[in-house]
Amino acid sequence: MLGITSALVLLKFRKSDEMGGTTPVAWCLPSHLQIKVLSKHFIMTKQEKITNLDPSSVGLKNGHFIGLPFNEEDAGIVLLSVPWDVTVSYNAGTSTGPQNILEASPQLDLYDSDVPDAWKMGIYMRHIDLFWLNKSKEMRKEAEAYIQFLENGGQIEQDEEAKSTLSVINKACLQLKDWVFQESTKLLEVGKKVGIVGGDHSVPLGFLKALANKYENFGILQIDAHQDLREAYEGFTYSHASIFHNALMINNITKLIQVGVRDHCQEETEVVAKSNNRIEVWTDQKIQEGKYGGGTYQDLCDQIISKLPHHVYISFDIDGLSPYLCPNTGTPVPGGLNFSEACYLVKTVVKSGREIIGFDLCEVAGLGNEWDGNVGARVLYKLCNLMGQSANL
Ligand SMILES: [Mn+2]
C-alpha cells in the first residue's frame, strides 16, 4: 500500500516536473511501478510539458534552471556552463558561478513582462562539467604561484620554472577554448540557440569561433567595467583581460561596442584609437554624463546600438553592473549600469529588428554568494528571453 501511494505521489510530481534523471524515491518503488513512472517520463513531448506546467506555481528545485521541465533535446536554448577561472587577477571563485546561478534560479518567476510566454521556448542549462572544474582548480593553484612570482618582481625570461608553468597554463586554456568550440558547434548544428555561462571572461572565445563559422559577419555588444583588450595579460594568452584582443582576431566580428567601461589602461585606449572604428567605447562616465546633461537613456541606447550589424552577440560581464548587484565578482568597480538600464539596452537591440545570435554571461561569483547568483540568474533569464524573442523562437 505504501509503495502505491509513493508511486501516485511521484507520478503527480513528475507530471509537473519532468526531470532529466531519476530520483531516489523512484528506486524505492517496486520495479513494475518504476517502469511505468520512467516510461511516462520519457514519452512526454515538449507540448505536454508546457501543458502540464503551471507557470505561476512555486519554482521547483529539480536541478534545472528555474525548475523548468525541459531537457537538452526539446529546449530551444541551451546554456553551456563553463566552470573556469584560471587567469583571474583579483578574486577567484567564478568557476562555480554557473552552479551558483542554477541553485539560486528556482526563486525566479517564469513570467517575464517583456516576453510573457518566453519560458515555452524551452531553456536547458547544462550542469557544470567536473573534468573542467577540477582542471580549473588544478591550474588556478599553478597560476596563483605564478602571479605571486610576477608581483614579487620576478622576470619570466630569467626563470625556467615560471616559463614552464606559464606554458602549462596556456596549453590548458587552449584546451578549454577548443572544448567550448566543439560543444557549441554541435549545439548550433542541431539548431539550438546557445548561451555560455562562465566562469571568467576568457571562456566565450571558442563559442565566438563557432559563431564565426555560421555567420559571415556579426557585432558584439559588450557590457563590462573593463575593456579586456590587453594582449596576453600577465603572459596568459587566454586571459580574461584579453578576451576581446583575441576575439578581434576573428575577421567576421566587424564591430565591438563596449558599454559601462570604467577601469581601463593606456594600451587599451590606443588599441581603440587604431581600430579604424571597429571598436566603439561608451564609458560609464559618458553614459551617466549624457543623462546629467538632459539626454534621455532611450536616445543614448539608440545611439549605442546604431552601428551594430544585423547579427549581434551579447557579451555580458556581470561587473558591467553596479557592484551592489555583483559584490563578490572577480574585479568589482564603482559605478556601472543598474539592472533595468542593462535590460533596456539589450531590449533596444531586439526592438531595432536585429537578431541576437548568442551570448555569454561571465564573472558571476561562485557558490556561497547567494545574492550574486540571484542577480546572475535574472540577467541570464532576460538574455535568454530576449535572444529567443529576437530569433522568433
Ligand atoms: Mn570582462
> pLDDT by residue (tens digit) across 179-218?
999 999 999 999 999 999 999 999 999 999 999 999 999 9
Q: Same domain for 9 and 123?
A: no
Cα of 52 to ligand 1 centre, how many Å? 40
Size of the chain, expressed as the number of residues it contains = 393
Q: Is the pLDDT of residue 12 over 80?
A: no
Q: Between 227 and 87, where is the model more confident?
A: 227
Judge whether 222 and 259 are in contact, CB under 8 Å: yes
Q: Same domain for 27 and 120?
A: no
Cα of 88 to ligand 1 centre, how many Å? 10
Residue 147 lies in a domain: no
Q: Same domain for 201 and 289?
A: yes
Beta partners for 193?
A: 77
Cα of 221 to ligand 1 centre, how many Å? 12
Q: Is the pLDDT of residue 15 over 50?
A: no
Cα-based distances in Å from 192 to 48, 59, 237, 312: 20, 24, 30, 16
Residue 53 lies in a domain: no
**What's the predicted TM-score (pTM) here?**
0.89
Q: Same domain for 37 and 106?
A: no
Q: Same domain for 236 and 325?
A: yes
Q: What is the pLDDT of residues 38-83, one digit of tens each?
A: 545 557 899 999 998 888 887 778 889 999 999 999 999 999 999 9
Residue 262 lies in a domain: yes
Residue 58 lies in a domain: no
Number of domains in the chain: 2
Per-residue pLDDT at 156: 86
The helix-helix angle for 297-305 and 339-351 (nearest 10°) equals 50
Cα of 128 to ligand 1 centre, how many Å? 21
Whichever domain contains 245, its CATH number is: 3.40.800.10
Residue 158 lies in a domain: no
Cα-based distances in Å from 147 to 67, 123, 233: 40, 38, 11
Long-range contacts of 168-173 (CB under 8 A, 24+ apart): 168/139, 168/142, 169/86, 169/87, 169/139, 169/142, 169/143, 169/236, 170/235, 170/236, 170/237, 170/238, 172/86, 172/135, 172/139, 173/86, 173/87, 173/139, 173/202, 173/236, 173/237, 173/238
Per-residue pLDDT at 389: 97
If you average pLDDT over every residue of the chain, what do you get?
A: 89
Q: What is the pLDDT of residues 256-306, one digit of tens each?
A: 999 999 999 999 999 999 999 999 999 999 999 999 999 999 999 999 999
Residue 371 lies in a domain: yes
Per-residue pLDDT at 1: 39
For residue 199, say if its preceding peptide bond is cis, omega within 30 degrees of 0: yes
Q: Which residues contact 118 (CB under 8 A, 6 or more apart)?
A: 110, 112, 381, 384, 385, 388, 389
Cα of 222 to ligand 1 centre, how many Å? 8
Residue 17 sits in which domain range?
A: 2-48
pLDDT band at residue 158 under the 50/70/90 scheme:
confident
Q: What is the pLDDT of residues 334-377, one digit of tens each?
A: 999 999 999 999 999 999 999 999 999 999 999 999 999 999 99
Residue 113 lies in a domain: yes
Per-residue pLDDT at 4: 42
* Strands 123-125 and 77-82, sheet pairing: parallel
Q: Among the listed ranges 11-15, 45-49, 159-163, which one has the minimum average pLDDT value? A: 11-15
Q: Same domain for 43 and 88?
A: no
Cα of 315 to ligand 1 centre, how many Å? 8
Gap between the Cα atoms of 341 and 51, Å rounded:
34
Q: Same domain for 118 and 11?
A: no
Q: Same domain for 212 and 288?
A: yes
Q: Same domain for 38 and 95?
A: no
Cα of 223 to ligand 1 centre, how many Å? 8
Q: Same domain for 114 and 17?
A: no
Cα of 21 to ligand 1 centre, how many Å? 35
